[in-house]
Amino acid sequence: MHDQSKNDPGFLLTATNFAAAFALAFALCSATRAQAEQGADPPKPPVDSNTTNPKHADAARRLGIGGRRPNDPAVRHVLNAMVVNQKERERLVLQSLRHTRPIFHGEYHFVRCVCALTKEQQHQVAQEGETTIREAATEFANRSLDSRGQALLRPQEIRGRLQYRFMRVLQTFLTAEGVARYRTEVQGRNASFRQAAIRNLVADLDQDLALSEEQRLQIGESLSEHWNDYWSPSLELTPDANDDFPPIADRFIVPYLNAAQEKSWQASAGARRSILYGVPLDDAVVDQPPEDDALTWARRAASQREEIN
């Protein structure tokens, strides 16, 4: 296995890499033991110089434990926190992948159908999609840990990333006409998603507020004119992920309500404003779609690369 730390000092300084912390503790233990064998009390190491290895000293400064012995409670606390943090990050990454993989597969099969990809091209697109959702999963996990709260997965953000990355790959082997056809189909499909989302939102409002036919049309037109893709739930995820009504501004709905309806709408304003609309990275079971050969190859190859690194 290639030892990246020998060539890249910064490699030791990342929060997810335990090598620096464990090497630091090992070096301190070795130095202390050597001094004890010589019958002398080990001298206190100078601050930020726990070891003669400059990489370890630099890592100690970055970890905030420079000048500490390996059995120092502060050192043990840092090491334990790093282990717990890494395990939580891995858990969140796996959760995010379970939620994003159905979106990835939907977009992949759409490309495969529209562009009539060859076997080799299918592998290229699948690899790009696998890379995209793994990068997104890591970002969401880091966001959750940094905010000390629960990250939210936004399906439309994932869909947009996949479409952008797929477009870049297609441009490497499709003709200009083929790329244009894919772009047109994507735009039409996204418009259909938007209209379906608007109809669903109006239907939810109608259930709560008993809208008239005219009100349904007016609110539908208002939402369409001011549409935000983050208001759209994912069609690939479980129904529970789409239960909450998105925090849509009053000005897009209230002008078309009567007094009684507006009062009911305002009564639920607090709940709507408290929603960070998206899919929480929880432990809910998400059905995983079947894979073709290209998708299976891309997933396994990505996992192998992560194990090596």
- Over the stretch 199-226, which tens digit does the pLDDT of each residue have? 989 998 999 899 999 999 999 999 999 9
What does the alpha-carbon distance between residue 301 and residue 276 come to, in Å, rounded to a whole number?
34
Residue with tokens 């304003």: 269
Q: What is the pLDDT along the chain (309 residues), one digit of tens a residue?
A: 444 444 444 433 344 444 554 454 445 445 445 444 455 444 444 443 334 445 445 555 555 555 555 556 655 555 455 555 678 888 888 888 888 899 999 999 999 999 999 999 999 999 999 999 999 988 888 887 776 655 566 788 899 999 999 999 999 999 999 999 999 999 999 999 899 989 989 998 999 899 999 999 999 999 999 998 878 766 555 444 445 678 788 999 999 999 999 999 988 776 655 444 455 555 555 667 789 999 999 999 999 998 886
Task: Please say whether the beta carbons of 19 and 4 come within 8 A.
Answer: no
Half-sphere exposure of 169 (CA within 13 A, CB side): 24
User: Would you state the pLDDT for residue 91?
Assistant: 84
Longest alpha-carbon distance in the chain: 93
User: Would you state the pLDDT for residue 166?
Assistant: 97
Q: Where are the alpha helices (DSSP H) in 245-292?
A: 259-267, 269-273
- Over the stretch 36-85, which tens digit does the pLDDT of each residue have? 445 544 444 444 333 444 544 555 555 555 555 555 665 555 545 555 56
Radius of gyration of the chain (CA): 27
What does the alpha-carbon distance between residue 300 and residue 249 come to, in Å, rounded to a whole number?
44
Task: Please say whether the beta carbons of 44 and 17 come within 8 A.
Answer: no
User: Would you state the pLDDT for residue 242?
Assistant: 47
Tokens of 106: 């939907």
What is the domain partition of the chain in residue ranges? 4-71, 83-308
Q: Where are the alpha helices (DSSP H) in the chain?
A: 19-37, 54-63, 73-115, 119-147, 155-170, 176-209, 213-225, 259-267, 269-273, 293-308
pTM over the 0.85 mark: no
User: Would you state the pLDDT for residue 77?
Assistant: 52
Give the residue among 227, 234, 238 at the shortest CA–CA distance from 278.
Answer: 234
